[in-house]
Amino acid sequence: SQELEQSPQSLIVQEGKNLTINCTSSKTLYGLYWYKQKYGEGLIFLMMLQKGGEEKSHEKITAKLDEKKQQSSLHITASQPSHAGIYLCGADINAGKSTFGDGTTLTVKP
Amino acid sequence: DVKVTQSSRYLVKRTGEKVFLECVQDMDHENMFWYRQDPGLGLRLIYFSYDVKMKEKGDIPEGYSVSREKKERFSLILESASTNQTSMYLCASSSGLSGVYGYTFGSGTRLTVV
């Protein structure tokens, strides 16, 4: 998606390491979602952020939305093989439908 | 839990066949969406619907049509399947006019057209 830039495109980390995935837009985001997808499966909703400066955590995954509501980061602490998959950000930019980043493929080496 | 169920996980069809992909959600969501996902292209919106019998074209509607006769069911139709429609198809639903509450996705249908 040109409206949502996600980086990096892929990431290989050693088990136990921390990592960060970024999602950036040139427009104000009215709702920012993070999803995880295992290969060949559907997307699983992780977290939603709506307010500038908002931060949410679930287990070892933390997502933040900046004050301007144009950038979000997803941070995984002490990565595990179970964290491997494709992470996508999605956002409400146009009324009524979401747009998605192209995804970040995460590989965690044991 | 909200569930979005896609009728098939894997499907193989021949070129020229008419293909139906079914999606059912059980949470009374107003909005339903069909995406296709291809490597390097991300998720692309094919069609979406805000209400029964309503449909809107997404970014890549060519070669597809949809049907929403009941609120819980949103069908994607490939009128005459072609090899370039080989892809992963994902159905999603959400509540609210702007989808601001996030989407719930089905498990996907991997369609191969030979």
Share of residues in chain A with pLDDT > 70 (%): 94
SS3 B92: strand
Q: Do A31 and B41 touch (CB under 8 A)?
A: no
B112 touches chain A (CB under 8 A): no
- For residue A93, the distance in angstroms to the closest alpha carbon of chain B comes to 10
Per-residue pLDDT band at A10 (split at 50, 70, 90): very high
B104 → chain A, closest CA residue: A45
CA max distance for chain B: 39
CA max distance for chain A: 43
pLDDT of residue A31: 82
A23 touches chain B (CB under 8 A): no
A86 touches chain B (CB under 8 A): no
Token pair for B13: 């069809």
Can you give the pLDDT of all 114 residues of chain B as single tens digits? 658 999 899 999 999 999 999 999 998 888 899 999 998 888 899 999 988 988 999 889 999 999 999 999 999 999 999 999 999 999 999 876 554 567 889 999 999 999
Q: Which of residues 63-92 of B touch A (CB under 8 A)?
A: 88, 90, 92
Q: Mind giving me the DSSP string for A57-108?
A: EETTEEEEE-TTSSEEEEEESS--GGG-EEEEEEEEEETTEEEE---EEEEE
- For residue A43, the distance in angstroms to the closest alpha carbon of chain B comes to 6
Residue A56 confidence (pLDDT) above 80: yes
- Give the model confidence (pLDDT) of A13-42 as tens digits: 999 999 999 999 988 887 889 999 988 788
